[in-house]
Amino acid sequence: QGGGLHSLLLSLFAAQRSDVLADSQHSLAQLIRRRSPRARPEVLAAFEAVDRAHFLPEECHDHAYMDSPIRRDTIHQSAPSIYAAALDALDLTPGLSFLNVGS
């Protein structure tokens, strides 16, 4: 388990340094796939299927496909690669769910 935590932390720090703009949800998913080649296919498929822009106010849509955090007023959304690393580490199986609680 220590190796998994180490990999997760490395992914988190690498994501914080990145600020790469993709032009669509598909290209963002491809970016995550390149940065996380060992991520489970189910995690990568989730990023293909769900558009990040749906979870952001309209004024943030220009930044929806950046692999970086978005902070506006009361909105704070971590970088997509952070969510990918966390979801992969959770090792969810069909029938399980998770709740992301911000602070």
In the three-class reduction of DSSP (H, G, I as helix; E, B as strand; rest coil), residue 90 is classed as helix
Helical H runs in the chain? 2-17, 25-35, 41-49, 80-90
pLDDT value at position 103? 56
Q: Give residue limits of the domains in the chain.
A: 2-90
Assigned token pair, 62:
């220009």
pLDDT value at position 53? 92
Residue 1: pLDDT band with limits 50, 70, 90:
very low
Assigned token pair, 69:
């955090």
Active site residues: 78
Burial class (CB in 10 A: 0-12, 13-18, 19+), 79: buried
The pTM score is: 0.70
